[in-house]
Amino acid sequence: MRIKSPAKDEWDPGRGGFSANSTDPRLRLRRLQMLAGAIALLVLAFAIPFYELARLAESSQLFSYIPLIPLVSAWLIWTDRGKFRWDSNPDRRLAWIPLVIGLGLAAYGSLVRPGFDLAQVDCLALMMLSFVCLLVGLTWLVLGTGAMRSLAFPLGFLIFCIPFPTALLNGMEYFLQHASADVAHVLFWISGTTFARRGLLFYLPGITIEVAPECSGIHSTWVLFITSVLAGQLFLRSPWKRILLCAAILPLALIRNGIRILTIGELCIHIGPEMIDSYIHRHGGPIFFIASLIPFFYFLRYLRRTETVR
């Protein structure tokens, strides 16, 4: 009778990779070392896009949150390391799908030039999507499908490292700008303020204000959405309640923007037109963002309590 040592991986064509007893700590360490080396090479290959992304995050308030995303993903992996699933016979056949997609995106991204074929932010979005796909594919190939189920959310969370392409950014900003103006219209009407509106212009007693693109609140809205995704994963078990929490961000953001427009308009009416250049208008975004966190956390608490009761 011959017994094969579990300390050696064997190539299993049917599984698309190595087949071994993953309960052996030596095999776990070997796979983790292999994955660490592959990730190091991948990061080195994307060194220039990472440098450009860091410069973009430093210079743009909209993308200033990006450096925090990998730290959050690493923290999620570390805190859940005890729940990590090690399959004795890992399935890696589907790992080639994200690998092929990532390689295709990287090949296309290396051909286009910023300012000629695509804007710089569009090139960065393409390269970061390629990086995430390749990272998922390499992790899947080394660790298998069972491990990917444990790592699905932390790796998926890295999608927020991808900056908005220009077309998507313009579309989101346009929608938030006009929808916020509609909400402000309703709030002015409820408040009893005398006003007239034409498009994005509000004609108030003594002053005319315009809902500019800066009033869309796209940065605070997107950060609040990222917060809702993370909070739903950490504190809610039901998938549909997680979706409900994320869906609540849009009306919450529009109401916040509408209240901000109403507040500035009322200040201009009752104090003076110079309030249009006041601190609360130019730099009051964080104040209204913090205020929007209050109903957000109350709603999260409500959803969590309904799960606890059941």
Q: What is 116-164 written as a DSSP string? A: TTB-HHHHHHHHHHHHHHHHHHHHHHHH-HHHHHHHHHHHHGGGGGSPP
Distances (CA, A) of 251 to 243, 274, 307: 14, 30, 23
- Per-residue pLDDT band for 147 (boundaries 50, 70, 90) equals confident
Residue 84 carries which DSSP code?
-
Residues near 134 by Cβ (< 8 Å), separated by ≥ 6?
Answer: 42, 98, 99, 102, 103, 106
pLDDT (mean) for 8-28: 51
Give the N- to C-terminal CA distance of the chain in Å, as an integer.
54
The rounded distance, in Å, linking the Cα atoms of 235 and 137 is: 28
State the pLDDT at residue 23: 53
Mean pLDDT rounded to a whole number for the chain: 84
Distances (CA, A) of 81 to 145, 192, 196: 16, 57, 58
Residue with tokens 């220039």, as numbered in its chain: 48
Predicted TM-score of the model (pTM)? 0.84
Distances (CA, A) of 154 to 72, 163, 181, 227: 8, 18, 36, 14
Question: For residue range 275-286, what is the model confidence (pLDDT) as tens digits?
Answer: 777 767 666 677
Question: For residue range 151-185, what is the model confidence (pLDDT) as tens digits?
Answer: 999 999 999 999 999 999 999 999 999 999 999 99
State the pLDDT at residue 307: 79
Indicate if the pLDDT at residue 4 is higher than 60: no
State the pLDDT at residue 25: 75
Indicate if the pLDDT at residue 140 is higher than 60: yes
Give the tokens for residue 60: 């743009």
- Per-residue pLDDT band for 148 (boundaries 50, 70, 90) equals confident
State the pLDDT at residue 84: 75
Report CA torsion sign: 258, 263, 269, 272. Answer: negative
